[in-house]
Amino acid sequence: MTGRWVDHVFWWHVYPLGFVGAERELADLGDDRVEHRLGRLEGWLDHLVSLGCNGLLLAPVFASASHGYDTVDYFRIDPRLGDDADFDALLTACHDRGVRVLLDGVFNHAGRDFPPVAAALAAGPGTPEAEWVAKLYDNDGMVTAEYFEGHDTLVTLNHGSPLVQDLVRDVLLHWLGRGVDGWRLDAAYAVPPTFWAAVLPAVRERFPDAWFVGEMIHGDYVGYVEQSGIDSVTEYELWKAVWSSLDTVNLHELEWTLGRHAEFVEHFVPMTFVGNHDTTRVASQIHDERHWSHAVALLGFLPGVPCVYYGDEFGLEAVKEDRPDGDDAVRPSLPAERGQFDDPHPEVEEVYRRVLALRRRHPWLVDAVTSTEQVANEHLLVHARARQGEGALTLALNLGDQPYGVPGGASVLAAEPAVQGDAVAPHGWAVLEG
């Protein structure tokens, strides 16, 4: 990856429909009505940059029936957000600031009202229209389909069909041609890797610098990347270990996962995160506020492509619930600009700024070789060295009530709270050099 733009990008991840306070259903908007709300994101781009990020990851912006993941038109901006002109203006505002843009593509499934899916449901099994969907069933005259994770509004597409492959290829090319820099591929864990192996070569021929990251909650990360030809996956294994080990004060769990993480980095560079639009906020996962900043330190220190979910830098708390609309709390609306928002935890925002600034000064961390030592429930040393050239840093974590002694003579590059002599303060962390 050396030399590629993605080596140096830190994403700020936004769920636009929630961010702008859009109507819950597209039907609530009314026929032919467009709300020009994407401009509200422009009011936060200076915050994105000042935080230390230089990439904007947009959750779905295409026309959908409700939450964005039930797409009905892949070539149209959701009218609850705006139109093509609004999108172009946001792209221009991003690129003027040196901010990359990543779109969220939902290609495992589509909404029931996506025209080819609606036609397949109307025509039934055994018809030409049925080729668009994975499976159709005729139950006593009622046609049903294979639904994604049991949601009957999300119809699984037929990834073996040239029709679906051609559509997705055209969608990727269209928006890359409009100026976006890459794609998050939703629910990649449910899509056969052979689908992307068929779709992506023609896209890469025209846009060789585009970056593709697949959403992988579980599965064979390395195998999927190699078979599909995508660049990266979302590393849910590390996400789980970070908040769980910090919350339960069990750094053995983190140490084990860091071994897996190091193996992944030998093959590809994962997207790393401590929260996203589908998860309980990290500040709600880690119940001891003294350990919130440890998660930030890990996000900035560990190899990977870091992604910050909007609001996490303010220590926002919210719990994802297993019920209809149970994601709403973790997808909040924010005001038109940063200056109108009252930060409930400015100390957390400051930690993000310091950690991302340190990461910016040591770009080799993106694919660093890591190892661990001095592992206990309450403390851990993580060493990182440059894969090429010079560079070596150590992250010391202390979750205990007593100072944690570290090797003397090292320079402290960042710490929370301040290092006490040759010891990391109780419930603190430090990045050391030398």
CATH number at residue 320: 3.20.20.80
* 430 sits in which H/E element: strand 429-433
Would you state the pLDDT for residue 421? 84
- In which residue are the tokens 């039930």 written? 70
Would you state the pLDDT for residue 425? 96
Does residue 316 surpass a pLDDT of 60?
A: yes
Query: 0.95 exceeded by the pTM?
Result: yes
Per the domain annotation, does 209 fall within a domain? Answer: yes
Q: What is the mean pLDDT of residues 403-417?
A: 91
Residue 6: pLDDT band by 50, 70, 90 thresholds?
very high
Q: Quick: pLDDT tens for 223-275.
A: 999 999 999 999 999 999 999 999 999 999 999 999 999 999 999 999 999 99
200-235 as b/e, with b when 16 or more CB fall inside 10 Å? beebeeebeebbbbbbbeeeebeebbeebbbbbbbb
Per the domain annotation, does 19 fall within a domain? Answer: yes
Per the domain annotation, does 338 fall within a domain? Answer: yes
**In sequence order, what are the beta bridge partners of 237?**
none
SS3 category, 77: strand
Per the domain annotation, does 403 fall within a domain? Answer: no
Structure tokens at 220: 């064979």
- In which residue are the tokens 């071994």 written? 259
Would you state the pLDDT for residue 420? 83
- According to DSSP, residue 146 is labeled P
Pairing status of strand 271-273 against strand 305-309: parallel
**In sequence order, what are the beta bridge partners of 104?**
184
Per the domain annotation, does 429 fall within a domain? Answer: no
Spatial CA neighbour of 117 closest among 97, 94, 90, 146: 146
Instruction: Tell me the range of 134-143, 285-294, 317-326 where mean pLDDT is highest.
Output: 285-294
Q: Which domain holds residue 170?
A: 5-366
Q: Quick: pLDDT tens for 167-211.
A: 999 999 999 999 999 999 999 999 999 999 999 999 999 999 999
Q: What is the mean pLDDT of residues 27-55?
A: 95
Q: What is the mean pLDDT of residues 42-66?
A: 98
Long-range contacts of 309-313 (CB under 8 A, 24+ apart): 309/13, 309/273, 309/274, 309/275, 309/276, 309/277, 310/12, 310/13, 310/14, 310/15, 310/19, 310/44, 310/334, 311/281, 312/274, 312/275, 312/281, 312/282, 312/283, 313/51, 313/348, 313/349, 313/352
> In angstroms, rounded to a whole number, what is the distance separating the alpha carbons of residues 241 and 243?
6
Spatial CA neighbour of 102 closest among 204, 176, 182, 179: 182
Q: Quick: pLDDT tens for 113-162.
A: 999 999 999 999 999 999 999 999 998 889 999 999 989 999 999 999 99
> In angstroms, rounded to a whole number, what is the distance separating the alpha carbons of residues 133 and 434?
57
Residue 3: pLDDT band by 50, 70, 90 thresholds?
low
> In angstroms, rounded to a whole number, what is the distance separating the alpha carbons of residues 235 and 221?
8
Per the domain annotation, does 246 fall within a domain? Answer: yes
- According to DSSP, residue 328 is labeled G
> In angstroms, rounded to a whole number, what is the distance separating the alpha carbons of residues 1 and 92?
26
CB 38 within 8 A of CB 92: no
Would you state the pLDDT for residue 30? 82
Longest Cα–Cα distance in the chain: 77
Would you state the pLDDT for residue 2? 42
**φ, ψ (nearest 5 deg) of residue 415:** -160, 155
> In angstroms, rounded to a whole number, what is the distance separating the alpha carbons of residues 298 and 352?
11
**φ, ψ (nearest 5 deg) of residue 419:** -70, 140
- Per the structure, how many domains does the chain have? 1
CB 73 within 8 A of CB 63: yes
Per the domain annotation, does 384 fall within a domain? Answer: no
> In angstroms, rounded to a whole number, what is the distance separating the alpha carbons of residues 16 and 115?
24
Per the domain annotation, does 420 fall within a domain? Answer: no
